[in-house]
Amino acid sequence: MKLSNRILDLAGGGDAWAVYFAAREMKAAGEDVIELSVGEHDFPTPKPILDAMATAAYGGHTGYAEIPGVAALRAAIARRVSDSTGVATGPGNVLVTPGGQSALFAAHSAVLEPGETGLYIDPYYATYPGTIRAAGGVPISVAARPEDGFRPNVRDIAELAAQTRARSLLINTPNNPTGAIYGPDTLAAIGEVCTARDLWLISDEVYDAMVWTGRHVSPRSLPGLTERTLVVGSMSKSFAMTGSRVGWIVGPEEVIFHLSNLAIHTTYGVPGYIQDAAVFALGAGAALESEVCAPFRRRRDLARALLDRQNLVRSIPAEGAMYVLLDIRATGLSGTDFAQALLDAERIAVMPGESFGQAAAGHVRVALTVDDDSLRDALTRLIEFAKSRAG
Ligand SMILES: Cc1ncc(COP(=O)(O)O)c(C=O)c1O
């Protein structure tokens, strides 16, 4: 039976995840592999959040929940966004979604006609092109170069937007995989292009609580951008709730109205007891969120101290998120070959930069998602390995 081309072509082919799966196989075969490849906490959801989830479930909140999100959660998200951005945001600006991933799909579905171009920045979170395809769009990447600290050049965005008649631009700050944070000037310049080319700006801010240097600015708060920006947020990273699948879109009320309609016809909302747990977490104050995020700051500092002792393996400053992107071009190897050789020789799994597009070729991404001692050990061995390869 024939399947749709849309589904057959979704993932775009390629074997960008080969090293990741090879590491998984080694682990399954009982080998001792240090996995620095997965963007997920090495600890479970904090107990108070799980207690709130259990109380809600045992209290009976197990039926269909309000589809755009329960009132208390929409209000809590709106408050969080108003407080952090200064932009007046109400429950009508918020749609609760099953995680940031679902929000990315919904946002592109809202703004792209079939066949229209959605731009995104390379290097990118691995699902971006497939998500744009799933929403019927054509994904086209704009390279952000290592020599620019992996910030996009706005002239490139403007040129590609004109050439492709793009309808949207997807950005991500703090960034996976680079750890870069886009400052107000970069965001304002991006905003000007979006205004000039009449692009929707889809701003993936799922790492907004993981900021180690400077501060996070949401482009929705910049002049003229509130009405053309759709912000994607999530409980996954800030509260270690990756498996609970709860996130959101914040945007103009009209968009949220139509996206609620999409939710009725696709996800049918998010379980009520999970939403109640999210209400608890967001209301618990900054301490809980800081507790979840603190290990990644500490490990970022640890990684930086190790990297500063040598200058073969370089890195742009990891300003946020849970990753360090290492430049291993001095070894003469591609990111893919380096990652495979490191796995074979040292049983250390990292993600090749090429898994995130072309712009991070010759790099590898280290996820700071193992305990401090394992990270120190793995990075020390990685640097020694790079030295041996560089001769
Ligand atoms: C940049 C980015 N966006 C979105 C997501 C999706 O997160 P979730 O669907 O768990 O909210 C991730 C997950 O790793 C990510 O790194």
Which residues of the chain fall below pLDDT 70? Answer: 14
Sheet with 314-315, edge to edge strand ranges: 314-315, 323-327, 363-367, 351-352
Q: Which atom of ligand 1 is nearest to the CA of 100?
A: 11
29-65 in b/e form (b: 16+ CB < 10 A) is eeeebbbbbbbebbeebbeebeebbeebbeeebeeeb
pLDDT (0 to 100) of residue 30: 94
pLDDT on residue 382: 98
Best of 206, 241, 325 for a ligand 1 pocket test (most atoms within 8 Å of beta carbon): 206
Pairing of strands 117-122, 138-143: parallel
Distance between CA 128 and CA 121 in Å, rounded?
Answer: 9
Query: Which segments of the chain belong to CATH 3.40.640.10?
Result: 47-285
Ligand 1 site residues (CB inside 6 A) read 39, 99-101, 125, 172, 176, 204, 206, 234, 236, 242, 247
CATH 3.30.530.20 fits 5-44+287-385, yes or no: no
Task: Kindly give the distance from the C-alpha atom of residue 2 to the centroid of ligand 1, in angstroms, as a whole number.
Answer: 31
Instruction: Write the DSSP symbol of residue 310.
Output: -
Full-model pTM: 0.97
Rounded to whole angstroms, the Cα distance separating 248 from 103 reads: 6
pLDDT at 204: 98
Q: Which fold has domain 47-285?
A: Aspartate Aminotransferase; domain 2 (3.40.640)
* Distance from residue 38's CA to the centre of ligand 1 (Å): 11
Cα(100) to centroid of ligand 1, in Å?
6
Report how far ligand 1's centroid is from the alpha carbon of 378 (Å): 25
Domain with CATH 3.90.1150.10 in the chain: 5-44+287-385
pLDDT tens-digit map of 315-363? 999 999 999 999 999 999 999 999 999 999 999 999 999 999 999 999 9
